[in-house]
Homo-oligomer: A and B are copies of this chain.
Amino acid sequence: MRMEITPAEASVSGPRTPAAPASRDAAVGITGAVSLLRPVRAGNAFEETVERLLQAIKLGVVPHGEKLPPERELATRLGISRVTLREAIRALQEAGYLDVRRGRYGGAFVVYRPPSPRKGDLRRAVTRMGEDDLEDALTFRMAVECGAARVLATTELTPRQRETLAARLAGVNDAAPADYRRMDIAFHLAIAELSGSPLLAAACADARLRVTDLLNAIPVLRPNIEHAAVQHAAIAAAILDGDPEAAERAVAEHLEGTAALLRGFLA
């Protein structure tokens, strides 16, 4: 065993990349186009795998009671060896996120429910990831989600796609409080995935999970849900309507709102 994870520490913010200087005002000479000489790999395979699985769990991609795909398949999908995957799974098991059972019909079952947020969680989460990283993540999310909405609104949608989007919208609206975040995520990700671009979908998923810990650290309040519902509806409508600019504006407003909410809880 190489690492121990406790739920308290477990973060989704990713292996702390050595932090390319985020000089908002730097002399960005093309020589200074720093973005290219950034780290080739985020960390070691083990840590990255733990992060990924943790994300899948926290985002509710694999909900409580369900199991992860079989090790062999998962290892292939993640592009790592089974050994490494197993180490990651063991770490998550020891941290209490997974219950691993052997034998046929066995597997790694998710044993985790998002804890209800307590005062101070948000502060801690922010401290863990750093203020700059927070701004970075919020900006990034704003850009990719707006872009995704625009792209999708520009696309000629198939009936199937329209249904999926509508279903996801309904999913958020009908969600029980405990399921709300999960359904919210499903809605947002659907926009990116429906665009048909795996790269874009990955970017949106990445953006979202960079703020998951933070969002999970603030309570889900009735008025916010209602407000969000209106905005979600506007987003879906604009997309179904084929109006890129409205779609984008709607997403921007929605994310602005979320960001403001976060900052509000921080202030």
Which A positions have Cβ atoms within 8 angstroms of B?
A: 17-20, 22-25, 27-28, 30-42, 45, 48-49, 52, 55-56, 59-62, 66, 69, 74, 76-80, 135-137, 139-140, 142-148, 150-151, 154, 158, 160-161, 164, 182, 185-186, 189-190, 192-205, 207, 209-210, 244-245, 248-249, 252
Protomer copies: 2
* Beta-carbon contact of A79 and B18 below 8 Å: yes
In the complex, what residues of B have CB within 8 A of residue A60's CB?
30
In the complex, what residues of B have CB within 8 A of residue A146's CB?
146-147, 150-151, 248
Chain B nearest Cβ from A142, distance in angstroms: 6
Chain B nearest Cβ from A174, distance in angstroms: 14
A173 to B39, CA, bound (A): 32
* Beta-carbon contact of B35 and A189 below 8 Å: yes
A84: nearest residue on chain B (CB-CB)? B40
* Beta-carbon contact of B40 and A80 below 8 Å: yes
* Beta-carbon contact of B39 and A41 below 8 Å: no
* Beta-carbon contact of A137 and B22 below 8 Å: no
Partner of A61, one of B27, B36, B77, B198: B36
A147 to B144, CA, bound (A): 6
A61 to B24, CA, bound (A): 19
In the complex, what residues of B have CB within 8 A of residue A205's CB?
33, 35-36
In the complex, what residues of B have CB within 8 A of residue A59's CB?
33, 36
Residue picked from A30, A78, A205, most chain B C-beta under 10 Å: A30
A59: nearest residue on chain B (CB-CB)? B36
Given A197-B22, A248-B245, A38 and B77 contact (CB-CB distance below 8 Å)? yes
* Beta-carbon contact of B161 and A25 below 8 Å: yes
A140 to B195, CA, bound (A): 9
Partner of A200, one of B41, B139, B197: B139
A69 to B32, CA, bound (A): 12
A146 to B123, CA, bound (A): 32
